[in-house]
Structure 1
Amino acid sequence: MILLLLSLSIVGATDPYGDVVSGEGKLILSGNPIKIAVQVIEEGKPVVNKWVYFRAHNGYLTYDSVLSDQSGFACVEFIPLTNGWVEGIVNGELIEIHPSVLPKDTLIKLILSVVIGSVLILMGLDSTNKGFSRLSGERIRQTLWKMTNRPIFAYLTGIFLAIFLESSTLTGLMLLGLLESSLINLTTSLIVLAGASLGSTFTVQIIATDIIQFSPVFVLIGFLLWQSKTKWSYIGRILLGFGLIFFSIWLIRESIKPLLDIFTLDVNPIILFFGSIILTFIFHSSAATLGLLIGFIGVLDFSQALPIILGANIGTTFTILLGSTRTSSEGRAMGMGYVILRTIFVILSVYLFFLPRTLIPTSRDIANIHTFVNMWGFALIPFVYPLAFSMNKMFKRKLFGVKLDTMYLSTPSIAISKCHEVIRESMEIVINMFKATLVVFKKNNNALRKVVIRRDDEIDKMQEELTTYSSRLLGEELTEKESNKCVTILKIMNEIEHIGDLISKNLMSYAGKKIKKAYFFSDEGFGEIQEYHRSVLFNIEETQAAIGSMDKEVASVLLRKQEESKEKINRFRESHLSRLKVGKPESIDTSTLHLDILNDFDRINFHIYNIARAIIGKL
């Protein structure tokens, strides 16, 4: 309060730039000293050597009276308690100086509430994400597999996936796996992500709903359902997660209530923008960052809230970008394309800064702005095509390189898909090795023989990584169906590794011996080797097709050929013995070699049939 006299007045001190230095509104912890400054003026000029008297309310002063200096300033130190303030008095006229006093216990409660609230939000989002993914992860993957290249359908699919998975990040990680499997293309994946960006705002809309007071009910019902061993346990996880999120927001709101009448946050918007990006990347979730923002409703105006919302929209892309660095070139192209796409959303949303900046937004305002920012995805669908073309040019595709990343373990359907990619890739290597085997024997190509041996080292490494990864995956909360799939994949990988060993350690050893000793097969003998090689190669390729879709029908057809294979190899053995009786020199020199090759081809067939049995579920 400022009282003016006709000739003499006392006002709060300001510096030459007009900034208040009186201590009015300055944030200070209770018990800490603050400088209180007033100015005595007369007809607009400072008054020197005028006694100014001070009176403390809920606090302590260093002096209770001070002479004004050359600038008319009179300054004292004030140690405030809760709600402390000071009166300055000159000639019966007074001014009140009210600093913003923050009780120490309130600050401690605020820090603890923010930390605990952040942890609870992350736990809640993790619980709901796992609940949704466990409940329908496999069904969602099947939906994506069947997706066409129609952009509208892809966009709508992205919206519904993000709503159901409760995360555009989780949708993106799932798309990475499907992209590497060539089940979708880059353009489609970016359109799906554009839709997922909008769908993910649904979570923030729920968080902004005024049902926070029911958080204990959500937690209780969710926990009870989670303890059941049925599908309801996944619904329980979802309810428990939302309950934790609502409780964390209530906790933060309660902790800042004492601050609402004390101060509003005044931070540079650029700092808030980049801080939001970093925080969202750490949380791996824009919903977590915006959940915290909703908790701070009342101390932020639009000028502070907008940079946080926009920063969260960019920060959420870096989790997918980081995950894509450990995938194929197409995966990296998707990660970078997604960052560019969401950045354009933010750039196009600068019009939001024309909103009244001093208004205090409600939780619904924050949720709606977040939704509006991501609605740009639909308008930008035509832009996705040149963006995908540019990303494909920037990142070149590699033939092999599935990465078993631990970030997929929290979503078993994705992790199992990645493991499935490994056995498909390793089977592709085996096919190439087996095709090369005949060339090595036919042309005595020693360089190719060494290449085939090195390819087996790749299979050994893939088996080791798959076994380690699958062991960790089996330690997660899997359904019986997911657990069986994981075990089947391990069985198949074991058979593939045996085939690789037969080719590299046995067949290539025979080839080395043939090259070194300059042996030659008889025309009839090598013709039989070629014929049996074609038969085994056909079985391997049929097995590869069965593995691709885990088709039990194809596997069953393959198993019915066992008797035919046995008859064929017995016929070739008898034919070879007949040539030995005739006394053909080539047959005599290569007799052991010839039979060993046929026997190992037969052993490869044995492992092929084991893979078919594993697919059917009889191994």
Structure 2
Amino acid sequence: MHPFLILLHLAAAVMLLLWAVRMVRTGIERAYGPALRNAMRHARGGAPGMAAAGVVLAIVLQSATAVGVLAVGFCASGIIGVGTGIAALLGADLGSALVVKLLSFDLSELIPGLMLVGATLFLKFESRQVRQIGRITLGIAFILLSLQLVGQATAPLRQSEVLPQIAGYLAGDPLTALAVSALIAWGLHSSVATLILFASFAANGVLPVEAAAPMVLGANVGGGLVAIWLTRGAALPARRIPLGNLIFRCVAAAIALVALQLFPSLLGALGGSPAVQLVNFHVAFNLCLVVAALPFIQPMERLTARLRPVPAQEMQETATYRSALDRSTTARPVLALASAQRELLRMGEAVEAMLRPVLDMLDAGDPLQIGRLRAMDQEVNRRHTDIKLFIADVNRGSLSADEARRSLELASLAIDFEAMGDIIAKNLLTQAEEMSRLRLRFSREGWGEIQALHARVLVNMHMALNVLVSSDLESARQLAAEKSVLRRMERESHDRHLARLRAGAAETLDTSDIHLEVVRALKEVNSLLVKVAYPILSEQGYLRDTRLVEHV
């Protein structure tokens, strides 16, 4: 076969593998995302408990990086500390190693059945949960299929004259092999896919085990780099979590590399075939790393604090107020209204930043965290005042009818966003304080209802900000329809809540008033969000003046 065709087939097989791994992960996140986040949020037992939670989550998600991003998000919200986040990430790497071990078995005979079941569930059922299970099943089938394709694509390479020279060089230069594989893992953004690929190469005789063993260590280091890259935009100290994990992995990889040179027979004791040896070596490396690193979590937390201190500029960043309002444009209405719209968008983003962690505050927030979040309402109020005064200045000039109408719409939306901030600060966060003070917990069913409502309102918040910028009619229609959806969800939650009260559920009795207040507040926030769509729908004649049926 022509070398170009070999590379084409191999590249296609690798991309199928990457896509299949991502398909499984996204299916699990969509089907069981809230439950997985709760499992990590409620993990007990300190660092060992978080490490165990990381193992389980990585096995389910087939990605240690996804667990790392989740841990960084929780740390940024104050739910977990840096040390427990590092422990969770160490456990997640062990969990992803176990996933590689599972996928290394010959499961090719399952491919037709998995494809049939997965496609049937995804195409023939309307339930979102069932469809995501079908997506997961198809993803597993495609992973197994991609491994077959990798074997077929690499078969001609065994007769290559150049490949043995490259493999021999890597076997004789383990540092280069480690560095190359770290770059490959970072480029693929999946240590699971990278290690499955290396195991497949070894199984097909393309990669000798002497060269592949350092590459396994490099893939572990590269996986740590991926987590740092994906969380580079997070605030400190949350970014210390992937940094601490990477330091642990680099030190462990260096020790393991030396051990391989001193005791070359170690790999032979891990299995009978090169592929089995590599996979078992990967699992053993991560298992030993977790056991050895857990006692040093606190020293690592202190080390990362020294390596990544919070800059004074970043500490003051939240207090820095930047306005998009350009006072020099008040005499030019077109530019002035565009400036006001930009400021309104910033105001909406501030409200979103207040709304997003509300669920965490209701579940495990302390008064200090809640107070910091409530202080953000001052920015919302200030932007609201600035927009009103700015638009008042613009209206003193000469405006066309359309410009005057638009200025009133922007002022009205500013009032609505300010009202959302008040609902969050004075209602939702007050309920969170009450939950924390009385040490209350929602019932499992009630908490699930609140989670569903909160997730829906967040999605609608994104949609509303997009509509504000784009003025897209179809998106506006979809946003307006969400008012009926939230009304139905609130009514169903209310009915189920009353049924739980009648049954005498203790947790429901204790949190009844708070549950109803939270549900009502989320519905009110959503109703205010929907008003972003009204000017667009009204202009196009798609908005009714009243919901009442005319009396005949």
TM-score for the superposition, normalised by structure 2: 0.57
| Matching residue of 1:342 | 249
| Matching residue of 1:323 | 230
Gaps of 5+ in 2: 322-340, 356-373, 393-420, 436-440, 451-516, 529-552
| Matching residue of 2:136 | 238
Q: Which amino acid aligns with 2:523?
A: A
- Aligned residue pairs: how many? 365
| Matching residue of 1:254 | 152
Q: Tell whether the 8 Å contact from 2:47 to 2:84 is kept in structure 1 after alignment.
A: yes
| Superposition map of 1:291-370 within 5 A | 291-296=196-201, 297=203, 298-350=205-257, 351-353=259-261, 354-356=263-265, 361-370=273-282
Offset at 1:364?
Answer: 2.2
Offset at 1:241?
Answer: 1.4
Indicate how the Cα distance of structure 1 residues 218 and 504 shifts in structure 2: closer, same or farther if over 3 A, else same. Answer: same
2:78 counterpart SS class: coil
| Matching residue of 1:283 | 188
Measure, in 1, the Cα distance between the counterparts of 2:345 and 2:119: 44
Match 1:372 to one of 270, 284, 287: 284
Q: Which has the higher strand share?
A: 1
| Matching residue of 2:22 | 126
Q: Tell whether the 8 Å contact from 2:21 to 2:139 is kept in structure 1 after alignment.
A: yes
Percent sequence identity over matched residues?
23
Measure, in 2, the Cα distance between the counterparts of 1:460 and 1:400: 24
Q: Tell whether the 8 Å contact from 2:343 to 2:387 is kept in structure 1 after alignment.
A: no
Q: Tell whether the 8 Å contact from 2:347 to 2:384 is kept in structure 1 after alignment.
A: no
Q: Which has the higher helix share?
A: 2
| Matching residue of 1:383 | 296
Q: Tell whether the 8 Å contact from 1:301 to 1:358 is kept in structure 2 after alignment.
A: no
Indicate how the Cα distance of structure 1 residues 302 and 240 shifts in structure 2: closer, same or farther if over 3 A, else same. Answer: same
Offset at 1:294?
Answer: 2.2
Offset at 1:496?
Answer: 9.1
Q: Tell whether the 8 Å contact from 2:244 to 2:301 is kept in structure 1 after alignment.
A: yes
Measure, in 2, the Cα distance between the counterparts of 1:323 and 1:337: 15
Measure, in 2, the Cα distance between the counterparts of 1:538 and 1:240: 43
Q: Tell whether the 8 Å contact from 2:351 to 2:380 is kept in structure 1 after alignment.
A: no
Q: Deviations over 1:372-416 (max 9, x none)?
A: 1101212210111101012123333479989xxxxxxxxxxxxxx
| Matching residue of 1:393 | 306
Measure, in 2, the Cα distance between the counterparts of 1:208 and 1:538: 52
Measure, in 2, the Cα distance between the counterparts of 1:251 and 1:277: 23
| Matching residue of 2:335 | none
Aligned alpha-carbon RMSD (Å) = 4.3
Measure, in 2, the Cα distance between the counterparts of 1:292 and 1:538: 51
Indicate how the Cα distance of structure 1 residues 196 and 462 shifts in structure 2: closer, same or farther if over 3 A, else same. Answer: farther
Offset at 1:320?
Answer: 1.3
2:169 counterpart SS class: coil
Q: Tell whether the 8 Å contact from 2:89 to 2:242 is kept in structure 1 after alignment.
A: no
Indicate how the Cα distance of structure 1 residues 616 and 370 shifts in structure 2: closer, same or farther if over 3 A, else same. Answer: same
2:239 counterpart SS class: helix
| Matching residue of 1:461 | 346
Measure, in 2, the Cα distance between the counterparts of 1:462 and 1:248: 47
Q: Which amino acid aligns with 1:169?
A: T
| Matching residue of 2:117 | 221
Q: Deviations over 1:278-317 (max 9, x none)?
A: 1111111111111211221212222111121111000011
Offset at 1:199?
Answer: 0.6
Q: Tell whether the 8 Å contact from 1:302 to 1:355 is kept in structure 2 after alignment.
A: no
Q: Deviations over 1:578-598 (max 9, x none)?
A: xxxxxxxxxxxxxxxxxxxxx
Indicate how the Cα distance of structure 1 residues 270 and 458 shifts in structure 2: closer, same or farther if over 3 A, else same. Answer: farther
Match 1:273 to one of 178, 188, 208: 178
Q: Which amino acid aligns with 2:175?
A: I
Indicate how the Cα distance of structure 1 residues 364 and 178 shifts in structure 2: closer, same or farther if over 3 A, else same. Answer: same
Q: Tell whether the 8 Å contact from 1:194 to 1:378 is kept in structure 2 after alignment.
A: no
Q: Which amino acid aligns with 2:196?
A: G
Q: Tell whether the 8 Å contact from 2:55 to 2:92 is kept in structure 1 after alignment.
A: yes
Q: Which amino acid aligns with 2:150?
A: I
Indicate how the Cα distance of structure 1 residues 501 and 399 shifts in structure 2: closer, same or farther if over 3 A, else same. Answer: same
Q: Tell whether the 8 Å contact from 1:159 to 1:195 is kept in structure 2 after alignment.
A: yes
Indicate how the Cα distance of structure 1 residues 609 and 502 shifts in structure 2: closer, same or farther if over 3 A, else same. Answer: farther
Measure, in 2, the Cα distance between the counterparts of 1:458 and 1:272: 51
Q: Tell whether the 8 Å contact from 2:260 to 2:266 is kept in structure 1 after alignment.
A: no
Measure, in 2, the Cα distance between the counterparts of 1:537 and 1:190: 36
Gaps of 5+ in 1: 1-104, 403-424, 431-455, 471-491, 511-535, 556-607
Match 2:31 to one of 127, 135, 145: 135
Q: Which amino acid aligns with 2:168?
A: D
TM-score for the superposition, normalised by structure 1: 0.52
Q: Are residue 198 (structure 1) and residue 94 (structure 2) matched?
A: yes
Q: Which amino acid aligns with 1:393?
A: R
Measure, in 2, the Cα distance between the counterparts of 1:315 and 1:259: 26
